[in-house]
Amino acid sequence: MGLVVPAVLPASQKDLEEKLSLFARIPSVSRVQIDVVDGRFASPASWPFSAPGELERRCAEGGMLPSLDRIAYEMDLMCLDAERAAGAWLTLGATRLTFHAESPTDLPRMLASARTQYGDFISFGLALNIASDLALLEPHLDKIDYVQFMGIARIGRQGQPFDKRVFEKIRVFRKRYPDIPVQVDGGVTLESAKSLLALGVSNVVVGSGILKAKDPATAFAQFEALESPFGV
Protein backbone atom coordinates (compact mmCIF):
# COMPACT_ATOMS: atom_id res chain seq x y z
CA MET A 1 0.00 0.00 0.00
CA GLY A 2 1.03 3.61 -0.49
CA LEU A 3 2.67 5.96 1.94
CA VAL A 4 -0.04 8.63 2.17
CA VAL A 5 -3.61 8.04 3.35
CA PRO A 6 -5.94 10.86 2.21
CA ALA A 7 -8.46 11.87 4.88
CA VAL A 8 -12.01 13.18 4.64
CA LEU A 9 -13.90 14.98 7.42
CA PRO A 10 -17.38 15.01 5.85
CA ALA A 11 -19.68 17.99 6.37
CA SER A 12 -22.55 16.19 4.61
CA GLN A 13 -23.29 13.09 2.57
CA LYS A 14 -22.79 15.11 -0.61
CA ASP A 15 -19.46 16.43 0.67
CA LEU A 16 -18.30 12.88 1.45
CA GLU A 17 -19.36 11.57 -1.95
CA GLU A 18 -17.62 14.42 -3.81
CA LYS A 19 -14.34 13.97 -1.94
CA LEU A 20 -14.34 10.19 -2.22
CA SER A 21 -15.03 10.56 -5.93
CA LEU A 22 -12.03 12.88 -6.20
CA PHE A 23 -9.76 10.32 -4.52
CA ALA A 24 -11.19 7.47 -6.58
CA ARG A 25 -10.07 9.31 -9.74
CA ILE A 26 -6.44 9.23 -8.56
CA PRO A 27 -5.23 5.77 -9.65
CA SER A 28 -2.50 5.47 -7.01
CA VAL A 29 -4.80 6.03 -4.01
CA SER A 30 -5.02 2.71 -2.16
CA ARG A 31 -6.35 3.82 1.23
CA VAL A 32 -8.71 6.57 2.41
CA GLN A 33 -9.53 7.56 5.97
CA ILE A 34 -12.98 8.88 6.87
CA ASP A 35 -13.12 10.89 10.10
CA VAL A 36 -16.20 10.20 12.21
CA VAL A 37 -16.81 12.79 14.95
CA ASP A 38 -19.79 12.43 17.26
CA GLY A 39 -19.75 15.96 18.74
CA ARG A 40 -19.23 14.55 22.26
CA PHE A 41 -15.89 12.74 22.32
CA ALA A 42 -14.64 15.41 19.91
CA SER A 43 -16.40 18.34 18.26
CA PRO A 44 -17.96 19.70 16.18
CA ALA A 45 -19.98 16.73 14.97
CA SER A 46 -19.26 15.56 11.43
CA TRP A 47 -21.64 13.78 9.08
CA PRO A 48 -23.46 11.48 9.77
CA PHE A 49 -23.84 12.63 13.38
CA SER A 50 -24.85 16.04 12.07
CA ALA A 51 -27.71 14.43 10.09
CA PRO A 52 -29.14 11.48 12.09
CA GLY A 53 -30.58 8.67 10.01
CA GLU A 54 -28.90 9.47 6.70
CA LEU A 55 -26.15 6.87 7.01
CA GLU A 56 -28.61 4.19 8.02
CA ARG A 57 -30.78 5.02 5.01
CA ARG A 58 -27.78 4.73 2.72
CA CYS A 59 -27.03 1.29 4.16
CA ALA A 60 -30.64 0.22 3.75
CA GLU A 61 -30.52 1.27 0.09
CA GLY A 62 -27.54 -1.01 -0.50
CA GLY A 63 -25.00 1.76 -1.14
CA MET A 64 -21.29 0.97 -0.93
CA LEU A 65 -18.14 3.04 -0.67
CA PRO A 66 -16.57 3.67 -4.12
CA SER A 67 -13.77 1.65 -5.72
CA LEU A 68 -13.68 -1.09 -3.09
CA ASP A 69 -11.73 -3.25 -5.53
CA ARG A 70 -8.62 -1.12 -4.97
CA ILE A 71 -9.26 1.27 -2.05
CA ALA A 72 -9.27 0.20 1.60
CA TYR A 73 -11.37 2.50 3.77
CA GLU A 74 -10.46 3.11 7.37
CA MET A 75 -12.71 4.83 9.89
CA ASP A 76 -11.17 7.15 12.48
CA LEU A 77 -13.84 6.75 15.16
CA MET A 78 -13.75 9.85 17.36
CA CYS A 79 -16.86 8.69 19.19
CA LEU A 80 -17.93 7.75 22.69
CA ASP A 81 -19.57 4.60 21.33
CA ALA A 82 -17.05 3.76 18.63
CA GLU A 83 -18.00 0.12 18.31
CA ARG A 84 -21.61 0.98 17.55
CA ALA A 85 -20.60 3.77 15.17
CA ALA A 86 -18.45 1.33 13.20
CA GLY A 87 -21.29 -0.97 12.23
CA ALA A 88 -22.83 1.02 9.38
CA TRP A 89 -19.44 1.81 7.86
CA LEU A 90 -18.48 -1.85 7.82
CA THR A 91 -21.75 -2.53 5.99
CA LEU A 92 -20.64 0.02 3.38
CA GLY A 93 -17.30 -1.76 2.89
CA ALA A 94 -14.82 -0.28 5.38
CA THR A 95 -12.11 -2.73 6.48
CA ARG A 96 -10.00 -0.73 8.96
CA LEU A 97 -11.16 0.71 12.29
CA THR A 98 -9.20 3.20 14.38
CA PHE A 99 -10.36 3.52 17.99
CA HIS A 100 -9.05 6.16 20.42
CA ALA A 101 -7.16 5.28 23.58
CA GLU A 102 -8.77 8.17 25.50
CA SER A 103 -12.28 6.84 24.93
CA PRO A 104 -14.13 6.18 28.20
CA THR A 105 -15.23 2.85 26.72
CA ASP A 106 -13.81 -0.35 28.23
CA LEU A 107 -11.08 -0.78 25.63
CA PRO A 108 -10.20 -4.43 26.31
CA ARG A 109 -13.87 -5.39 26.05
CA MET A 110 -14.42 -3.30 22.92
CA LEU A 111 -11.34 -4.63 21.12
CA ALA A 112 -12.17 -8.22 22.04
CA SER A 113 -15.79 -7.76 20.98
CA ALA A 114 -14.84 -6.13 17.68
CA ARG A 115 -12.35 -8.90 16.90
CA THR A 116 -14.95 -11.56 17.71
CA GLN A 117 -17.65 -9.88 15.59
CA TYR A 118 -15.62 -8.93 12.55
CA GLY A 119 -12.82 -11.49 12.53
CA ASP A 120 -9.46 -11.28 10.84
CA PHE A 121 -10.66 -9.46 7.71
CA ILE A 122 -10.80 -6.17 9.66
CA SER A 123 -7.66 -4.31 10.77
CA PHE A 124 -7.77 -2.50 14.11
CA GLY A 125 -5.72 0.50 15.19
CA LEU A 126 -5.52 2.60 18.32
CA ALA A 127 -5.00 6.38 18.20
CA LEU A 128 -3.30 8.48 20.86
CA ASN A 129 -3.71 12.22 21.41
CA ILE A 130 -0.69 14.51 21.52
CA ALA A 131 -0.95 15.13 25.29
CA SER A 132 -1.67 11.53 26.31
CA ASP A 133 0.83 9.11 27.81
CA LEU A 134 2.04 6.03 25.95
CA ALA A 135 0.86 3.99 28.92
CA LEU A 136 -2.70 4.28 27.55
CA LEU A 137 -1.64 2.28 24.49
CA GLU A 138 0.71 -0.27 25.89
CA PRO A 139 -1.73 -2.73 27.52
CA HIS A 140 -3.55 -3.14 24.19
CA LEU A 141 -0.73 -3.51 21.67
CA ASP A 142 -1.20 -7.26 21.31
CA LYS A 143 -4.81 -6.71 20.21
CA ILE A 144 -4.25 -4.16 17.43
CA ASP A 145 -2.56 -4.01 14.03
CA TYR A 146 -1.23 -0.43 14.07
CA VAL A 147 -0.92 2.74 16.16
CA GLN A 148 -2.02 6.19 15.03
CA PHE A 149 -0.40 9.19 16.70
CA MET A 150 -2.36 12.43 16.42
CA GLY A 151 -0.23 15.31 15.14
CA ILE A 152 -2.53 18.14 16.24
CA ALA A 153 -3.55 19.53 19.62
CA ARG A 154 -7.30 19.26 19.11
CA ILE A 155 -8.67 16.27 17.26
CA GLY A 156 -11.73 16.34 15.02
CA ARG A 157 -10.81 19.44 13.03
CA GLN A 158 -8.80 19.67 9.82
CA GLY A 159 -6.49 22.56 9.00
CA GLN A 160 -4.71 22.79 12.37
CA PRO A 161 -0.93 23.28 12.54
CA PHE A 162 1.31 20.29 13.05
CA ASP A 163 2.40 19.83 16.68
CA LYS A 164 6.06 18.85 16.91
CA ARG A 165 5.58 17.21 20.30
CA VAL A 166 4.57 14.08 18.41
CA PHE A 167 8.19 13.56 17.28
CA GLU A 168 9.35 12.60 20.79
CA LYS A 169 6.38 10.28 21.28
CA ILE A 170 7.30 8.43 18.10
CA ARG A 171 10.99 8.23 19.05
CA VAL A 172 10.15 6.60 22.37
CA PHE A 173 7.51 4.29 20.90
CA ARG A 174 9.74 3.15 18.02
CA LYS A 175 12.55 2.34 20.46
CA ARG A 176 10.22 0.21 22.59
CA TYR A 177 8.15 -1.35 19.79
CA PRO A 178 10.10 -1.32 16.52
CA ASP A 179 7.84 -3.80 14.74
CA ILE A 180 4.43 -2.15 15.23
CA PRO A 181 3.28 -0.06 12.22
CA VAL A 182 2.81 3.62 13.06
CA GLN A 183 0.84 6.27 11.20
CA VAL A 184 0.44 9.97 12.01
CA ASP A 185 -2.73 11.95 11.45
CA GLY A 186 -3.20 15.70 11.66
CA GLY A 187 -1.42 18.74 10.29
CA VAL A 188 1.07 16.73 8.23
CA THR A 189 2.96 18.75 5.60
CA LEU A 190 5.61 17.65 3.14
CA GLU A 191 8.33 18.91 5.47
CA SER A 192 6.96 17.27 8.61
CA ALA A 193 6.31 14.08 6.62
CA LYS A 194 10.03 13.83 5.82
CA SER A 195 10.90 14.03 9.52
CA LEU A 196 8.22 11.50 10.41
CA LEU A 197 9.51 9.01 7.85
CA ALA A 198 13.02 9.41 9.22
CA LEU A 199 11.63 8.33 12.61
CA GLY A 200 10.14 5.16 11.15
CA VAL A 201 6.55 6.19 10.55
CA SER A 202 4.79 3.79 8.16
CA ASN A 203 2.06 6.08 6.81
CA VAL A 204 0.95 9.70 7.00
CA VAL A 205 -2.73 10.64 7.00
CA VAL A 206 -3.29 13.89 5.13
CA GLY A 207 -6.54 15.83 4.84
CA SER A 208 -6.37 19.56 4.15
CA GLY A 209 -2.82 19.24 2.80
CA ILE A 210 -4.37 17.49 -0.20
CA LEU A 211 -7.95 18.73 -0.34
CA LYS A 212 -7.05 22.42 -0.02
CA ALA A 213 -4.30 22.23 -2.63
CA LYS A 214 -4.86 23.87 -6.01
CA ASP A 215 -4.36 20.46 -7.61
CA PRO A 216 -5.14 17.64 -5.12
CA ALA A 217 -3.78 14.94 -7.44
CA THR A 218 -0.43 16.71 -7.67
CA ALA A 219 -0.34 17.26 -3.91
CA PHE A 220 -1.01 13.57 -3.34
CA ALA A 221 1.75 12.63 -5.78
CA GLN A 222 4.23 14.87 -3.95
CA PHE A 223 3.57 13.03 -0.69
CA GLU A 224 3.74 9.65 -2.42
CA ALA A 225 7.12 10.56 -3.92
CA LEU A 226 8.62 10.61 -0.42
CA GLU A 227 10.51 7.44 0.35
CA SER A 228 9.96 5.20 3.37
CA PRO A 229 11.23 1.67 4.04
CA PHE A 230 8.46 1.23 6.60
CA GLY A 231 5.30 1.45 4.45
CA VAL A 232 2.53 -1.05 5.18
- Burial environment of residue 66 by CB neighbours within 10 A (0 to 12, 13 to 18, 19 or more): middle
3-state SS of 137-190?
CHHHHHHCCEEEEECCCCCCCCCCCCCCHHHHHHHHHHHHCCCCCEEEECCCCH
Percent of the chain with pLDDT over 70: 97
pLDDT at 232 over 80: no
Closest among 67, 41, 35 to 206, alpha carbons compared: 35
CA 73 distance to own-chain centroid: 9
For the segment 95-99, the average pLDDT, to the nearest whole number, is 96
Beta carbons of 116 and 124 less than 8 angstroms apart: no
How far does CA 75 lie from the centroid of its chain? 6
Nearest alpha carbon to residue 48 among 2, 84, 1, 23:
84
Percentage of the chain surpassing pLDDT 90? 83
* Mean pLDDT of the 120-144 span: 94
Q: What is the pLDDT of residues 167-198, one digit of tens each?
A: 999 999 999 999 999 999 999 999 999 999 99
The length of the chain is: 232
Residues 135-164, mean pLDDT to the nearest whole number: 94
For the domain 4-224, what is the CATH superfamily, name and number?
Answer: Aldolase class I (3.20.20.70)
Q: Is 35 helix (H, G, I), strand (E, B) or coil?
A: strand
| Environment class of 192 (CB within 10 Å of its CB; exposed 0-12, middle 13-18, buried 19+) | buried
Q: Which pLDDT score is estimated for 168?
A: 97
Domain ranges of the chain: 4-224
79 and 108 Cβ atoms separated by less than 8 Å: no
The pLDDT of residue 206 = 97
